[in-house]
Amino acid sequence: MTSASAFFAPTVWRQYYALTKPRVVQLIVFCALIGMVLAVPGVPNGSELMLGLWACTGIWLVAGAAAAFNCLVEKTIDAKMKRTAWRPTAKGELSDRQALLFSGALCAVGSAVLYVMVNPLTMWLTFATFVGYAVIYTVILKPLTPQNIVIGGASGAMPPVLGWAAMTGDVGPEALILFLIIFLWTPPHFWALALYRVEDYRKSGLPMLPVTHGNAFTRLQILLYTVVLMASCLMPFVYGMSSWLYLAAAVVLSVGFIGYAVALWRQYSDELARKTFRFSLIHLSALFAALLVDHYWF
């Protein structure tokens, strides 16, 4: 097989696609889409729909670029962990050069789409998010401090801000409230995963909180964060962004998350940590879906 035919082989493209961490990027784009929808009063018109489509495309490309760069930098660590050992860079199916060029191409194209088809502010905010995740978090914070998830969570919390900026050309307080929700959601979400994957993280040498401070301390931090998270989840209603429909969903989801955190704090098991991690995904997705429904229902 020639190099050109190898490049276009379906298996190779599946490997490149895997580098973008599709499930993670889908959640990122979904959160950005919520920011876009909430920034537009009422039903968007044709031009606003097209603007949103271009914004989603650009954000998806840059987010995929950041994920691919993360896979490249952490290939040695990924190879030591069961959860990530399947990644093409960890298995050596894609070379460093291939992964780097792929990441650079996605970032360049995505940035161009955002700059030309959306607005410069969204492009620069998205590029800053790329740097924050791919460089500051992955290269510097993650191997340095057990607070990596907390500090690095700022990059992961940016999608609604990007969506809001795409539709309005600025960053309003509503976007910052959405940012705060994801920022506070991130630590209990990842620490629940780290609890039942603690041996993987220990082998990898990463200073995740369960490794450096132990199981009990991590469980307490998860509980404390879920309580503070609930307060932030009520802010869209308090600020006037949403109605009672969202408030009801926010209370139910937040109480559910706290309930899992309390159970985990009182008596640990790997299965309960897994359930807490899975519920955290439901919590964020359903919370933002409730914001979306509330926006159009009322």
pLDDT score of 2: 43
| Residue 52: predicted pLDDT | 95
pLDDT (tens digit per residue) in 110-121: 999 999 999 999
Q: Are residues 165 and 183 in the same domain?
A: no
Task: Render 29-55 in DSSP notation, one character per residue.
Answer: HHHHHHHHHHHSSSS--HHHHHHHHHH
Residue 10 is predicted with a pLDDT of 53
**Residues 181 and 267 grouped into a single domain:** yes
Whole-number Å distance between alpha carbons of 273 and 275: 5
Both tokens of 142, joined, read 């993650």
Are 184 and 134 found together in one domain? no
The predicted pLDDT at position 5 comes to 43
Q: Of the residues 171, 201, 217, which one is the last residue of a structural domain?
A: 171
Q: Contact at 8 Å (CB) between 81 and 197?
A: yes
Same domain, 22 and 132: yes
| 99 and 178 in a common domain | no
pLDDT of the residue at 4:
43
Q: 125 and 59 in one domain?
A: yes
Using DSSP's 3-state secondary structure scheme, residue 199 falls into helix
95 & 151 share domain: yes
Shared domain for 15 and 138, answered yes or no, is yes
- Sequence-separated (6 or more) residues with CB below 8 Å from residue 151: 137, 141, 145
Instruction: Verify that 10 and 149 share a domain, yes or no.
Output: yes
The CATH code of the domain that includes 286 is 1.20.120
Nearest to 69 by CA among 110, 29, 39, 98: 98
For residue 179, give the nearest of 188, 171, 190, 191 by alpha carbon.
171
Per-residue model confidence (pLDDT) at position 47: 93
CA-CA distance, 30 to 204, in Å (whole number)? 31
Q: Give residue 218's domain range.
A: 172-298
Give pLDDT < 70 ranges for the chain: 1-10, 298
For 272, other C-beta atoms within 10 Å of its C-beta total 18
Do residues 151 and 222 share a domain? no
Count the helix, strand and coil residues of the chain and give each as a percent rounded to the nearest 5. 85, 0, 15
Residues 18 and 116 in one domain: yes
* 3-class DSSP assignment, residue 150: helix
Please tell me the total count of domains within the chain.
Answer: 2
